[in-house]
A and B are shown apart, each in its own frame.
Chain A
Amino acid sequence: RKEVEQDPGPFNVPEGATVAFNCTYSNSASQSFFWYRQDCRKEPKLLMSVYSSGNEDGRFTAQLNRASQYISLLIRDSKLSDSATYLCVVINFNKFYFGSGTKLNVKP
Chain B
Amino acid sequence: DTGVSQDPRHKITKRGQNVTFRCDPISEHNRLYWYRQTLGQGPEFLTYFQNEAQLEKSRLLSDRFSAERPKGSFSTLEIQRTEQGDSAMYLCASSLGPPQGSGTDTQYFGPGTRLTVL
Which residues of A are at the interface with B, using a C-beta cutoff of 8 A?
4, 8, 31-32, 34, 42-46, 49, 87, 91, 94-101
Contacts and interface: CB of A to CB of B under 8 A. Distances in A.
Nearest to A88: B42
Contact of B103 (A45, A46, A91, A100): A91
- Size category of the B interface is 20 to 34
User: Mostly helix, strand, loop or mixed at chain B's interface?
Assistant: loop
A49 B104 contact: yes
Contact of A95 (B42, B45, B112): B45
Contacts, number: 50
Q: Is the interface of A mostly helix, strand, loop or mixed?
A: strand
A4 B108 CA distance: 20
A105 to B, nearest CB: 15
Given A94-B56, A98-B35, 4 more contacts: A8-B40, A42-B111, A46-B106, A96-B45
Given A94-B55, A95-B56, A44 B43 contact: yes
Nearest to A2: B42
10 cross-chain pairs, A with B, having the tightest CB-CB distances, nearest first: A98-B42, A31-B103, A32-B104, A43-B109, A98-B43, A100-B42, A44-B109, A100-B41, A87-B42, A99-B42
A94 B43 contact: no
